[in-house]
Amino acid sequence: MIKALFFDIDGTLVSFKTHRIPASAIDAIKAAKAKGVEIYISTGRPYAMINNIDEIKPLINGYITTNGAYCFSGNHIISCSPILDSTVRRILTESDEKHFACIVVGEKDVVMYNPNEEAEHLFKDMLDIKNYRTDIPIDKVLDQPILQLTPFITDEQEKELLPFLPGIESSRWYPAFADFTAKGISKAIGLKEIAQYRGFDITETMAFGDGGNDLTIVEAAGIGVAMGNANEILKAHADYITTSVDDDGIANALRHYLSEAVLD
């Protein structure tokens, strides 16, 4: 029996084309929630940048944010796993020297460090994120636990950089940037922590994703679902491949796995 559903946002719940949750997904999630299934978000975004799921926010029981570095339910913080300060400083020095933008995610504030036109275009136009800051002093953010760093670097740049960052876990959900969290942190860790906190077994969970940062949670969940628009690696490791986010993928997967009594 499935007791909890975990949804990635971009490319899974929310269409890259419309920046909205399809109506079919909203209806299916509402029906599952009404029958007692718990609803969770599992995203690479920090909570401050979750701006596109208002239609289902009242249904959400908890969040895995920043790829598992910060997990909470209501006002209860389930886990907070910051990056070592020395590692943060090393990455920002690389940003200065190699001239790439980097999103710095503190426990309270999020700022774009060394912003450039490419990064701003991606966030504003392609991902529809308009509420990030460039005017917060970096020292103010660095006084907080740093949960995630998102450098705008290529795969090759990432490969060159990671050997010098042994305390970093890297994942990608969009080609233009990588998400860096503390070593060992992932969405799968967030899934396990929430399951333990709520008292259900991992086998009673179902996780949906489309990108590289969804691989661990799709593998760890009782049922792992890859969207039709997911990358091929994720599809190869999923228990089920549904249709794309724009072709009722969420609703079709829930219809396939949950009983008619849940979805009616």
For the annotated catalytic residues, the residue numbers are 8
DSSP 75: T
- SS3 of the chain: helix, strand, coil, percent, to 5: 40, 25, 35
d(CA 201, CA 190): 13
- Cα angle for residues 126, 127, 131 (degrees, 5° grid): 120
Query: Which sign does the torsion angle of CA 217, 218, 219, 220 carry?
Result: positive
Alpha helices by DSSP H, listed for 54-211, are: 85-98, 117-121, 138-142, 155-161, 187-198
d(CA 60, CA 28): 14
Using DSSP, state whether 178 is helix, strand or coil. Answer: strand
**Distant-in-sequence, close-in-space partners of 18: CB < 8 Å, separation ≥ 6:** 246
Query: Are 224 and 207 spatial neighbours (Cβ–Cβ below 8 Å)?
Result: yes
d(CA 254, CA 48): 28
Inter-axis angle of helices 249-257 and 23-34, to 10 degrees?
Answer: 30
